[in-house]
């Protein structure tokens, strides 16, 4: 195990109808709330009316900021920040998937940010020392409706610079942990199959990044916890798709997403996320769904490592999860992904062979460190990145 510090101050309220707690919880942290969510909230039925009422009952004022899209942009966050300042908002509630919650975090951090434009808080590269993380943010409460990013329990926000098309992250444990995560399985029963499946793949990817890159020493405990999360999600994907209104299974998927990325199962391991770095480039260029980009990357990474000698972690994964060879395990995973309708090749996003140079250049410029490698164990070279994209094609 590596040295680690574990800190997670997020209060979790889990269970059916947990959302009824929103008014009481919000009262602890503010008097004027900004609700951050998507441009189209028709999907949520009367959820927003209920939340407005629950806030009103506690004497809390609110404004809705319904301007977030998938792969949220700095432009959207800037507009939210401006409104927060003008309206003297003192609490942000993010409702939705990672996009809504992450945009909510960047807005919360931007209100008190005094190091220039919010673009400065983003870590665009591992070697980028010009990044100035926020140190003071408005409190946030998260209501996740798409189990995937675990954003409700961590201090990270992923955001895209719409001008450069670079998608990267803000990480600020000092101020970006939400105060409360309200995890209500009922809020996910109407989630479409594709979003459900992509979210599940994202959860698996969060654990797999660490599992493949686990590092050195005795990781028995982490390995077994991580295998537990992966196994659970794989076992429950088909179930949740066949019985979408089963709140027990929905709850399992939600809690799996939260614990995959709340620091617990990743403690003591490396936290590099090379598959995510290569996936973000696909989202930024082709607006591909995050979980789907990861589906293509997980398969390509597994297949790429079949022929490498330093593939111990990959072989262990194949052995313990599939009890098969690495190559056969990748085929099994692809079969499952096909069954649940998630893309398995980047050509399905519109990538052609001639685009690969551009993708490789993006990864190099955004994610490569000073050593001219992508942080990973083993480190991944530019040529490796190209090979992996080619396998994914
Ligand atoms: Zn992810």
* Beta strands 156-161 and 166-171, pairing class: antiparallel
What's the 111 CA to ligand 1 centre distance in angstroms? 26
What's the 358 CA to ligand 1 centre distance in angstroms? 22
What the block records as the tokens of 43 is 């999907």
Q: List the domains of the chain with CATH numbers.
A: 11-187 (3.40.50.1970), 191-392 (1.20.1090.10)
Backbone angles phi, psi at 280, to 5 degrees: -60, -35
What's the 230 CA to ligand 1 centre distance in angstroms? 14
What's the 361 CA to ligand 1 centre distance in angstroms? 21
Lowest mean pLDDT among 21-25, 74-78, 200-204, 236-240: 236-240
Q: What is the model's pTM?
A: 0.93
Sheet arrangement for strand 11-14: 11-14, 180-183, 140-144, 91-96, 32-38, 61-68
Quickly state the pLDDT bin for 126 (edges 50, 70, 90). low
Look at phi and psi of residue 96 and say left if phi exceeds 0, alpha if psi is from -120 to 50, else beta: left
In angstroms, rounded to a whole number, what is the distance separating the alpha carbons of residues 185 and 240? Answer: 12
State pLDDT tens for residues 210-222. Answer: 999 888 899 999 9
Q: What is the mean pLDDT of residues 326-331?
A: 98
What's the 106 CA to ligand 1 centre distance in angstroms? 17
Quickly state the pLDDT bin for 371 (edges 50, 70, 90). confident
Map tokens 């649940």 to a residue. Answer: 340
What the block records as the tokens of 360 is 């490789």
What's the 7 CA to ligand 1 centre distance in angstroms? 20
Secondary structure (3-state) at 291 = helix
What's the 149 CA to ligand 1 centre distance in angstroms? 5
Average pLDDT, the chain: 95
What's the 160 CA to ligand 1 centre distance in angstroms? 14
What's the 280 CA to ligand 1 centre distance in angstroms? 9
Whether 127 has a pLDDT exceeding 80, the answer reads no
What's the 291 CA to ligand 1 centre distance in angstroms? 7
């Amino acid at each position: 195990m590596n040295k680690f510090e574990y800190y997670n101050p997020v209060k979790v309220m889990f269970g059916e109808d947990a959302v009824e707690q929103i008014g009481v919880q919000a009262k602890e942290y503010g008097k004027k709330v900004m609700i951050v969510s998507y441009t189209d909230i028709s999907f949520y039925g009367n959820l927003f009316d209920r939340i407005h009422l629950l806030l009103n009952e506690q004497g809390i004022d609110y404004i809705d900021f319904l301007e977030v899209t998938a792969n949220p942009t700095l432009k959207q966050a800037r507009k939210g920040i401006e409104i927060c300042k003008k309206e003297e908002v003192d609490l942000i509630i993010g409702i939705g998937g990672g996009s809504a919650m992450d945009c909510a975090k960047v807005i919360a951090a931007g209100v008190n940010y005094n190091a220039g434009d919010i673009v400065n808080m983003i870590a665009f590269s591992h070697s980028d020392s010009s990044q100035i993380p926020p140190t003071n943010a408005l409190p946030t409460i998260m209501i996740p409706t798409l189990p995937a990013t675990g954003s409700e329990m961590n201090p990270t926000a992923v955001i895209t610079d719409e001008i450069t098309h670079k998608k990267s992250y803000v990480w600020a444990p000092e101020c970006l942990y939400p105060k409360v995560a309200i995890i209500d399985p009922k809020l996910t029963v109407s989630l479409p199959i594709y979003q459900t499946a992509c979210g599940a793949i994202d959860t698996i990817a969060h654990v797999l990044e660490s599992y493949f890159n686990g590092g050195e020493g005795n990781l028995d405990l982490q390995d077994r916890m991580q295998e537990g999360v992966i196994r659970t999600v794989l076992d429950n994907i088909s179930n949740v798709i066949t019985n979408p209104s089963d709140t027990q299974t929905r709850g399992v998927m939600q809690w799996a997403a939260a614990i995959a990325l709340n620091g617990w199962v990743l403690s003591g391991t490396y936290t590099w996320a090379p598959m995510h770095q290569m996936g973000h480039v696909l989202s930024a260029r082709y607006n591909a769904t995050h979980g789907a980009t990861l589906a293509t990357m997980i398969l390509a990474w597994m297949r790429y490592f079949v022929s490498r000698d330093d593939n111990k972690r990959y072989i262990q994964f194949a052995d313990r999860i599939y009890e098969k060879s690495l190559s056969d395990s990748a085929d099994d995973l692809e079969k499952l992904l096909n069954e649940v309708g998630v893309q398995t090749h980047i050509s399905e996003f519109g990538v052609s062979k001639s685009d690969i140079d551009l993708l490789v250049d993006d990864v190099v410029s955004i994610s490569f460190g000073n050593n001219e490698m992508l942080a990973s164990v083993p480190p991944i070279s530019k040529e490796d990145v190209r090979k992996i994209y080619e396998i994914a094609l």
